[in-house]
Structure 1
Amino acid sequence: MTALCTALPERLSLLLVDDHRIFLDGLALALGPLCPDLRIQTAQTAAEAEQCLQHGSFDLILLDLRLPDMPGLELLQRWQRQGLPTPVAILSGSDSSQDAQAALAAGALGFIPKSADSEDLRQAVTRVLLGEVLPMPQTTERPHLTPRQREILLLLAEGLPNKAISRRLGLSEDTVKTHLKALFQELDVHTRTACVSAARQRGWL
């Protein structure tokens, strides 16, 4: 981490916005090694964050998506409309790829999961401070599928037709079709090929 930090200035000012005080304290401790003179201010609501911005300037804002008085995404969009020059990265407990995409589309420079360890967190923050846009995090979304639907999805990926799937699993073709319909709805697709492709994109196959 030392080599990475040498590119940062000796003095940095960060604003951490999260409604959990214990998390804020731990975050401040984890970010301590970033530079010799690290100044951290914290806010637990959108209103407190706005007050901090009125009275000071920051090198980076780490913003949670879940705030008690306003969604973090809405706050980020407001800052973008106001032309806030301070870079913003989202630090969230959400593991939704949709949340990550929405945050990046709204102007965030990165989406950092709260599950990141201290080293990964400091590296991600350093990259944002150096002007990088962090890539989309790997999705951890898990399929809401029954064990039978997972079996059918795997056989579908092998290219088996309904009749072969029904024989392999000892099911009627109508039952297989019912499970396929549920899979199509879950993945929002209309064909077998699209079903397999969407499942692979989500990491289900």
Structure 2
Amino acid sequence: MATLLLIDDHPLVQVALEAALTRSPIPLQLFAVSSEQQARDYLRDHPVNLIILDIGLPDSDGLELLKRLKHRDENQAVLIYSAQEERLYIRMAQAAGAAGYIAKRQPMEKLLAAILAILGGQRAFPDLSEADNPATASLTSKERQILALLARGLSNLQIAEQLHISNKTVSTHKKNILDKTGTHSVVELAALWKAQQ
């Protein structure tokens, strides 16, 4: 019997998942915790075949927790189950070693299919129509240059001085980069840039 650990602070997710698991062609046993601390305590004594992880936890960032879980055991399969659907999060999860990513608005059958696929040694990521054409592909060469400098932590003013352009031009490019990549902050931009290097 395969054992699953759900790390999610919404009790209804556990109820819905337990109902979906009754339709599994193989026996699956589900355990659930609602925080990183509870997950650590549980995993200390119980090996699991698959961790189903929400990235919005009350006590931690799920993507950082994913990295810690993979650092603890690089062979641990982790499926991200999140309300976040932006490509950025999917790419960051892939880069951090997740075995799959399912959006919470998807039907439970999709989650069950992903669980079974991962237990069978496959990966379960959504088909990103831009998988071969990442978010940064639509950027101009100047925008890419500015993105790289932003990712290194340079301010608009420092970038303007380095590229011999006005501060206002840097701001305009930065706004266009955020729009084109669907990101909302320089922190997300830096993570996107790192995930693609």
Query: Fold-level match, TM-score > 0.5?
Result: yes
Find out whether 1:81 has 2:71 as its counterpart: yes
- What amino acid is aligned across from residue 187 of structure 1 in structure 2? K
User: Do residues 123 (structure 1) and 123 (structure 2) align?
Assistant: no
Q: 1:100 aligns with which of 90, 94, 98?
A: 90
Q: Whose Rg is larger?
A: 1
Q: TM-score, normalised by structure 2?
A: 0.63
SS at match of 1:115: coil
Paired with 2:3 and 2:73, the residues of 1 have a C-alpha distance of 19
Change (3 A) 1:182 1:80: closer
Unaligned runs of 5+ in 2: 130-171, 182-197
Alignment pair present for 1:187 and 2:177: no
Displacement after TM superposition at 1:62 (Å): 0.4
Q: Which aligned pairs between 1:147-162 and structure 2 lie closer than 5 A?
A: none
In 2, the alpha carbon distance for the partners of 1:60 and 1:86 equals 7
Distance in 2, matches of 1:181 and 1:37, equals 53
CA distance in 2, matches of 1:36, 1:82: 28
Distance in 2 of aligned mates of 1:88 and 1:26: 19
Q: 1:46 aligned to 2:39?
A: no
C-alpha displacement of 1:84: 4.6
Indicate whether 1:32 and 2:22 are aligned.
yes
Is the partner of 1:33 in helix, strand or coil?
coil
RMSD: 2.3
State the SS of the aligned residue for 1:90.
Answer: strand
Partner of 1:17: 7
Query: For 1:22, what is the secondary structure of its paired residue?
Result: helix
Q: What's the CA shift string for 1:48-87, capped at 9, x where partnerless?
A: 1111111211111100000011111111111122225320
What SS does structure 2 have at the residue aligned with 1:103? helix
Quick one: percent identity of the two aligned structures? Answer: 30
Counterparts of 1:84 and 1:183, CA distance in 2? 37
Please name the residue that 1:6 is paired with. Answer: none
State the number of aligned residues.
Answer: 138
Greater shift, 118-127 or 11-20, is seen at 118-127
Q: Is the 8 A contact 1:93 1:114 kept in 2?
A: yes
